[in-house]
Amino acid sequence: MTGGCQLAGEVLIPGAKNSVLKLMAASLLAPGVTTLSAVPEILDVDVMADVLTTLGATVHRDVATGTMTIDTPVTPGAAADPDLVRRIRASVAILGPLVGRCGEARVALPGGDAIGSRALDMHVNGLRRLGAVVDIEDGVLVARSSGRLQGAAIWLDFPSVGATENLLMAGVLAKGTTVVDNAAREPEIADLCQFLTEMGARIEGIGGSTLVIEGVDELRPATHETVPDRIVAGTYAIGAVMTRGDVFIRNGRAEHLGIVLEKLSAAGAIVDVGGDGFRVSMDDRPRSIDVVTLPYPGFPTDLLPQIIALEAVSQGVSLITENVFDSRFVFCRELLRLGAQLRTDGHHVVVRPATQLVGASVSASDVRAGAGLVLAGLVADGITEVHEVHHIDRGYAGFVENLRALGADIRRERDAVAA
């Protein structure tokens, strides 16, 4: 890509990656045909579809309409293909539905000693509270229940999105009442709760930090539209500010990006909410802002690389603090290649204004890092090459095409193949 563009025009936001993968997993809770709409054309959806296929489901995807049908068998398999499971962490979401409905689930660990991580610990401890026996067998997480799971009170040490989702999906078919306290509150959680309710689940407290689930005997397939992707919407909004552009983000839900849009306004952007989306425009160089990532409704960690890229071209010094993932700052090493002036210290990064970013060859280490590097390349002097773009394909549908339609000088040299 060649830097120097101003993004202008309109972009349509698809369904959320962080929701649709869990909706697909939830389809395992009921035999028959589930229909999902607003399904984004991303690699992670393809992988999750393959996971479901290995469990006996029949998955059909109509890319043109963004619709997917999942025909779940009466008795799904218990063991997913380990190679597929290791490709996307979201595949752990099949754990709750399978043990809740079928009494057994076998899911490969993300790798190494991941069972000791805080998030996966909460999955395991929560399922044990519901009566499942959970063990590690040859690098596979195995959860079994000799009968129906039993409702229980569960407190999460941290509002983990993945643990909240798994315990929700395990609890909807458990006997009695399950209470999940300190539950994650992300819009994607509410979307999953809505889908489960449409399937016949009984859930109270949707959108809050305490979820009360009254177990039912069985669920039915449902038809559901995926909530729009707030992270994709936020990425284009930040891109508009960085390039001093003017972008209408159709189907973006401003209410899901409250603190993000507040921060962009503080940086000098004009944010207009109305119709079926919101508009972000910027006339001058952005002002620096400080950001702290926190669970929703705090600033999302999935927008951290993008906001650091913004700060790299802003006026003034900013302090960015990451409180969710330890490895987010790997992105900073690549941003330094583009001439950014920044320094990391633990879970903080100090960003000083750079006179001008300069094009270079950089590599994406994950989905959001890739998006952040592309945004930086749009304002860098000269040509920027971003490699390992299969990471971007995991979470952004038509990213190059959308940016080009907004006025970016960007092209894809060759198809990326996922590792």
Active site residues: 113
How many angstroms separate the CA atoms of 304 and 401, rounded? Answer: 23
Closest-CA residue to 209 (of 152, 161, 257): 161
- For residue 345, the 8-state DSSP code is E
DSSP H stretches of helix in 289-415: 304-312, 330-337, 367-379, 390-393, 399-405
Contact 235, 306 (CB under 8 A): yes
What is the per-residue DSSP string for 86-112?
Answer: TT-GGGGGGHHHHHHHHSEEEEE-SST
Contact 165, 22 (CB under 8 A): yes
Which stretch of DSSP H or E encloses residue 53? Answer: helix 43-54
Please state at what angle helix 230-242 crosses helix 258-266, rounded to 10 degrees.
Answer: 10
323 annotated as a binding-site residue: no
Contact 231, 17 (CB under 8 A): yes
What is the per-residue DSSP string for 133-201?
Answer: EEEEETTEEEEE-SS--B--EEE-SS--HHHHHHHHHHHTTSBSEEEEES----HHHHHHHHHHHHTT-
Residue 402 contacts by C-beta under 8 Å, 6 or more apart in sequence?
A: 11, 236
166 annotated as a binding-site residue: no
Give Cα separations from 122 to 38, 146, 159 (angstroms): 30, 21, 10
How many angstroms separate the CA atoms of 186 and 326, rounded? Answer: 20
Amino acid at 371: A
Backbone angles phi, psi at 12, to 5 degrees: -95, 130
22 annotated as a binding-site residue: no
> Dihedral of the CA atoms 105, 107, 109, 115 (nearest 10)?
-10
Question: Tokens 């705090």 map to which residue?
Answer: 298
Annotated binding site for UDP-N-acetyl-alpha-D-glucosamine: 89, 302, 324
Annotated binding site: 17-18, 89, 302, 324
Annotated binding site for phosphoenolpyruvate: 17-18
